[in-house]
Homo-oligomer: A and B are copies of this chain.
Amino acid sequence: MKLQKGTEPSAALHGKWYDDACGTAFGLEVLGERWSMLVVRELMLGSRRFSDLRASLPGISAKVLTERLEGLERAGVLVRRQLPPPGKVQVYELTEWGLLAEPAIQELGRWAARSPRHDPTLPLSPVSLMLSLRTMVDREKAAAVQMNVGFEIGDDHFLAEIGGGNIEVRRAPTTGAELRFRAPAAPLLAGLIYGKVPADALPWLEIEGGEELRGRFLDIFQLPPKVGS
């Protein structure tokens, strides 16, 4: 550990990228480095291990992930926690403030999805898809719906509770859900929900629950309209 100044990665506490009182500029100091916002996205539905994050972020290297986690911890967005024994593994978890970033992340996604250039067929992480439900739900239509829906995507299990025009999603066993989807990977499900690919064209997808229920569920989601041009 040398003591030269300037040795530290600016990722550290950058704080001096922009010299600007604007909240957006400060937000960018915290979440504006490459990958940072996507790391936060992956933590949005609960704590994750280093290797979980790596697996969900195709292309990120161990070095960069380490640096981003350090930066985000220093900024107060997440904390590193040692799970109690047995297990005793280390996980990363959003702070209260970190959790509050969801609307900002959502708005950016909603805006970007309106571009004709957005390619929804790329790979997609399970968390990404689950969060998108909250972004893309049509709250008017959802107001008339009340149901619990389970999702088993690979080894990740989520429960979505729809009611009162709102939708909550959390990691939980899918037992007790009236409708349950099981798929090996998220893009498959995305095809069903957003691509409106018929279920029988997706052989690797298992669905438990009535046809009518499924229809009512699928009906409340839609991508935002593409902008002109």
A interface residues, Cβ below 8 angstroms from B:
17-28, 30-32, 34-35, 37-38, 41, 57-59, 75-76, 95-97, 100-101, 103-115, 117-125, 128, 132, 135, 187, 190, 227-229
Contacts and interface: CB of A to CB of B under 8 A. Distances in A.
Nearest to A35: B18
15 contacts: A21-B124, A21-B187, A21-B190, A22-B132, A23-B110, A26-B113, A28-B37, A30-B115, A75-B117, A76-B115, A95-B229, A96-B228, A100-B114, A104-B108, A107-B107
A21 B229 contact: no
Contacts of A121: 21
Contact of A34 (B17, B190, B229): B17
Given A24-B109, A32-B32, A19 B123 contact: yes
Contacts of A228: 96
Given A37-B28, A103-B107, A23 B229 contact: no
Given A32-B34, A96-B227, A97-B227, A109 B27 contact: yes
Contact of A22 (B22, B25, B41, B101): B41
A101 B95 CA distance: 27
Contacts of A120: 21
Contacts of A105: 24
Contacts of A24: 37-38, 41, 105-106, 108-109, 112, 128
B135 A21 contact: no
Contact of A101 (B32, B111, B190, B229): B111
B113 A23 contact: yes
A126 to B, nearest CB: 11
The residue among A31, A76, A112 with the most chain B CB atoms within 10 A of its own CB is: A112
A120 B23 CA distance: 8
A88 to B, nearest CB: 26
